[in-house]
Amino acid sequence: MRKTIAIGTVQVELRPRLLALCIVGAATFSATSKSHAYDLPAVNLGMTTFLDGTPTMGGPGWYTSQWIVSYSADKLANSQGNNLGLPLERVSVLSEATQILYLSPTKVGAGSFGFEFVVPSIFSASANDGLGNQVLNASQGFGDVSFGAFYQFDPIMGPNGPLFIGRIEAQALAPIGRYNAAVSVNPGSNFWSFNPYFAGTLFLSPKWTVTTRFHYLWNGENNDPSLTYGPSALNSQAGQALHANFSTEYAVADKFWLGINGYWLQQMTNTKVNGISVDGTKERVWALGPGMMYAFNKDNYLFFNAFYEFGAVNRSQGQKYMMRYVRHWD
């Protein structure tokens, strides 16, 4: 039996002598007689940070966002949070994601509707298990697409400007990335996920804000499960999870913000194989680090964020560095 782990923006599937790295962000491994698996798909862990309650700071219209993400880890954690015990446990990934977002100018009640979708891919990936990559290997390719419809609330205003801005979205992940149960590297997860969220930014002052985004994650069945599960496995289903991004940011200059950002994930139910719950498969991770945002003008924003993971269980534990550029098109 296997368990699953997510490596940053990458999905990793560890088999008896193989590891699959996938952009959607989970992994499976059974590298020893006591098998483990990392099952959750790749989700938004730190991809959105400062002022996330209002991703449409330039007003209604079209937006594009481009991420470049570098992730590396030298620990693959088991169900006790300890290393797997391989001679080396090194994974590095360079990935990107492109988002297209639209906010309608038409007001409906206290806000406006919009939609967005994100297409991720891995530029390059490498792994080293100290055994000539008999257990770990890595590859690249397009991942699964996330998409959703959202409702952006109008800001709650105070005497000195906005006090709070929020948004809700019904979001899903579509399994359109490449997947093959017989190979070790898969850009896709081969199952649907539902990942709705609420995001909000609280203005403690015109220059100091606190932002959070809170997700619920439900995963569908994979009806072509990894061969790691064995010939009797007809399907697998990753457990339900909660995850969140959080940050606090301060405008040290008119266009320049500095702050602290982080993320958290906790799987709430065990992974199932053939409908049977597998004990010890729940994933968990925390991350904290510094961040910055520069506003060239109301239509162009640049973000840099760093995250250092800790407390990982059934996941990789490493460092993530991210650059994001947001452009508003009138």
Nearest to 108 by CA among 154, 46, 51: 154
The burial class, CB within 10 Å (0-12 / 13-18 / 19+), for 330 is exposed
Nearest to 283 by CA among 235, 315, 320, 244: 315
Exposure letters 209-230 (e unless 16+ CB within 10 A, then b):
bbbbbebebbbbbbebbbbbbe
Place of tokens 């009640």: 109
pLDDT tens profile 214-267: 999 999 999 988 776 778 889 989 999 999 999 999 999 989 999 999 999 999
Bridge partner residues of 4 (DSSP): 28, 38
Structural domain containing residue 121: 3-329
Distance CA 21, CA 327 (A): 30
Q: In this model, does residue 5 exceed pLDDT 60?
A: no
Mean pLDDT of the 181-188 span: 63
Mean of all residue pLDDT scores within the chain: 85
Whichever domain contains 106, its CATH number is 2.40.160.40
Strands 36-38 and 3-4: parallel
The burial class, CB within 10 Å (0-12 / 13-18 / 19+), for 297 is exposed
- Indicate left, alpha or beta for 42 from its phi (over 0: left) and psi (-120 to 50: alpha): beta
- pLDDT value, residue 27: 29
Number of structural domains the chain divides into: 1
- pLDDT value, residue 182: 61
Place of tokens 């000539």: 132
Helix, strand, or coil (residue 139) = coil
